[in-house]
Amino acid sequence: MYISKSFIPILKNNPSEAKIKSHQLMLRVGMIKQSAAGIYSWLPLGFKVMKKIEQIVREEQNKIGAQEILMPTIQSSEIWKESGRYEDYGEEMLRIKDRQDREMLYGPTNEELVTDIFRSSIKSYKSLPQLLYHIQWKFRDEIRPRFGIMRCREFYMKDAYSFDITDEDALFSYNKFFLSYLKTFKRLDLTAIPMAADTGPIGGNLSHEFIILAETGESKIFTDKRIFDLDSEGTKLEKDSLKELRKKYEQFYSVTDEKFNKTEFEKKVSETNRLITKGIEVGHIFYFGDKYSKPMGCSVDLPGGKKDFVKMGSYGIGVSRLVGAIIEAKYDEKNEVMKWPISVAPYDIAIIPMINKNDNSALEKADKMNSEFVKNNIECIIDDTDENFSSKVKKMNLIGAPYQIIIGKKTEGDVFEFKEIGKETKNLSLAEIIKIIKEQKAIN
């Protein structure tokens, strides 16, 4: 892709309305454009990143046996009246009337709708467990939308729902998502810590928020530093192995402020291990048993001929919020350098050819190089403008492709100035460059 032909409307300076670095960068490089308060259009650069995140989230859901569906954004109020949440949800719910004067709403979440889908088809315990998910826009009329797409009114969410019959099986499902979340965030090169959390309007009494550390985050957290050394390595998709995984994390005190208890914190965590800081909630999982299935009459036949209400959990990931969360974690705002993890980078590599008025040879070299990249599934962006070198580098540093190549006066034959953002420049052949990038991409 040539910069001159791309739709990447870069601003010279930081927009003054943006208070945190993800919002600044997203406006600065034209990843999003606000269309109304808390409502955004996604422009090519932002959209590319979000779609890559979505695909990683999808792959990790599929790996635990969840099945993808797609529910609509507009829902009927009837099912929400059945569950009792139509009144409870309050002003965050955007209520709409259709031409027949029927009460509709723009879905803020989908517990009711998925329960309705489940109860219409699944009648026997033999079909359990069922894990269903979709990736769809949600609307919450947040009182104070802010920080760009971090807390907005329309946002893109993956929400999954589990259906089981015993508590034990339901917790097995819950733990599958616990593992899947750790793996998802790791592929996004984020350290997300599961923390005991409040359940709010979703309900239930077991819940974990997955939080990444960031000074600009809206969640206050109290944690034991040792939790950062853990990972899910070696965990199998089996009941006992998953139980062990949760135990391993839960041995360390780690909560959001709604669950904070000073005495407990000070008793369980030594002074040197205490960490009180802020973070961004990128995922949230809930177990709420029959909170929805009971009022909505969602039951299945049991082996002895009896019936029972299914036990459910729900599992959310803020797909659009993750774009901002990754920027918060990776953007060096002082030097104005963004480095996207290769797994979600809008482009794998940027080529900066030094173009003179009467010499097109650098651009020709870039084109040739690009055809080799295409053959190897490497996505590249070329700055074909005649701007000066430093402004070209500045621009590419903001766009954040993790690798850069400079084709300048010193470039001879098949050896190029190659650089991984944040590291020193090396002189490498095209074959060597392709090898490095392919290896990095393969890790994911």
By the rule CB under 6 A, 346 interacts with ligand 5CA: no
Number of residues that bind ligand 5CA (CB under 6 A): 19
Identify which of residues 49 and 202 has a Cβ nearer to ligand 5CA in the complex.
202
User: Which residue's CB is nearer to ligand 5CA, number 312 or number 351?
Assistant: 312
Task: Give me the DSSP letters along 202-237.
Answer: G--SEEEEEEEE-TT-SEEEEEEGGGGG---TT--S
Structure tokens given for 169: 């099986």
316 near ligand 5CA, rule: CB under 6 A: yes
Given a contact cutoff of 8 angstroms between Cβ atoms, the answer to whether 241 and 228 are in contact is no
d(C-alpha 343, C-alpha 402), whole Å: 10
Task: Give yes or no for residue 249 binding ligand 5CA (CB under 6 A).
Answer: no
Nearer to ligand 5CA, 282 or 296 (CB): 282
* CA distance linking residue 372 with residue 354, whole number of Å: 20
Name which of 131 and 152 has its Cβ closer to ligand 5CA: 152
- Least distance in angstroms from the C-beta of 206 to ligand 5CA: 13
**Residue list 129-148, contact with ligand 5CA (CB under 6 A):** 140, 142
Least separation in angstroms between residue 108's CB and ligand 5CA is 7
Minimum distance from residue 314 beta carbon to ligand 5CA (Å)? 4
Stretch that binds ligand 5CA, among 171-179, 228-236, 315-323, 393-401 (CB under 6 A): 315-323
| DSSP state string for 2-61 | BGGGS-----SS--TT--SHHHHHHHHTTSEEEEETTEEEEPHHHHHHHHHHHHHHHHHH
Regarding 330 and contact with ligand 5CA (CB under 6 A), the answer is no
Minimum separation from the CB atom of position 177 to ligand 5CA (A): 10
Q: Distances from the Cα of 208 to the Cαs of 3, 189, 332, 353, in angstroms?
A: 43, 20, 30, 48
Contact between 277 and 255 under an 8 Å Cβ cutoff? The reply is no
Residue 151 sits in the site that holds ligand 5CA (CB under 6 A) = yes
Residue with Cβ nearer ligand 5CA (209 or 348): 209
SS3 assignment, position 274? strand
Q: Is residue 202 a contact residue for ligand 5CA (CB under 6 A)?
A: yes
Q: Compute CA 425 distance to the chain's CA centroid, rounded to the nearest angstrom.
A: 31
How many Å apart are CA 168 and CA 183, to the nearest integer? 23
User: Please, which residue, 288 or 416, has the CB nearer to ligand 5CA?
Assistant: 288
Site residues (CB under 6 A) for ligand 5CA, limited to 96-135 = 109
Distance CA 219, CA 210 (A): 11
Q: Are strands 403-407 and 349-353 parallel, antiparallel or unpaired?
A: parallel
Work out whether 321 is an interface residue with ligand 5CA (CB under 6 A).
Answer: yes
| Residue nearer to ligand 5CA on the CB measure, 225 or 278 | 278
Shortest Å distance, C-beta 58 to ligand 5CA:
15
Q: Is 315 in the site for ligand 5CA (CB under 6 A)?
A: yes
Q: Which residue minimizes CB distance to ligand 5CA?
A: 318
In the complex, minimum distance from the CB of residue 444 to ligand 5CA, in angstroms, rounded to a whole number: 21
Q: State the Cα–Cα distance between residues 242 and 123, nearest whole angstrom.
A: 28
Contact 309, 299 (CB under 8 A): yes
Binding site for ligand 5CA (CB under 6 A): 109, 140, 142, 151-152, 155, 157, 159, 202, 281-284, 286, 314-316, 318, 321
